[in-house]
Structure 1
Amino acid sequence: MTRTVPNLPDERLCWLAVRDQVNRKARRRGVLGWLTALFRPRDSWEGNERAEDAADLRRETASGKLHKYAFAVDIVAETLTAAERAHLRATGEVPPHFLAEVERRVAERKKR
């Protein structure tokens, strides 16, 4: 079955190919997130406000992580070879090493 790939820039096609995986990684809770979820008071009004504040904080954190991933995807997309770009255009899939390189770029940027 032939897949129809929209006529978009390669950077955008790369983002569309990896966005579900990146979204899962960006929304992953850390230790503090799990502790907040496990030990928040469920009955009091103040507890509900704190839970809403924690949810807002998680969304802001995820949004910031998504920005870092989007930047890294654009950088790595520029390094694709002509054959990898042709494969991307034909199938809508990135090469196997693509996500690992994106992760490396995100970690490198995080260190700075």
Structure 2
Amino acid sequence: MFSSSILLQILACAIYGNWWPMLSALMYVVVPMPCMFFGGGSTQFLISRDGGGWIDAAKFLTGASTVGSLAIPIILRHAQMIETGAMLIEFTSFFIFICTVMCFHRASLDDDW
């Protein structure tokens, strides 16, 4: 699923001959970083109500990078730097990426593995 998301990122750029949408792909690298650094590599902290300075910072950074992944194509389209089709392909890529993250989160919660 992640590979198809990246493929859609590349297609959004290649079809319209404009590589600005690849800025969203940079956010895909940033999204898991708070989980790796502050959450110990587990997504368990995202659904816990326990707080603390580092846990709250990780939740904030994860949310901010997720919103940034959606905002970048919208801002680029508003500035008329990309076409509407490229923006829609970017949204499809983001949806597949989020589904991948949710599947990983669900699999990491199961102790049967």
Question: TM-score normalised to the size of structure 2?
Answer: 0.35
Q: Which has the larger radius of gyration?
A: 1
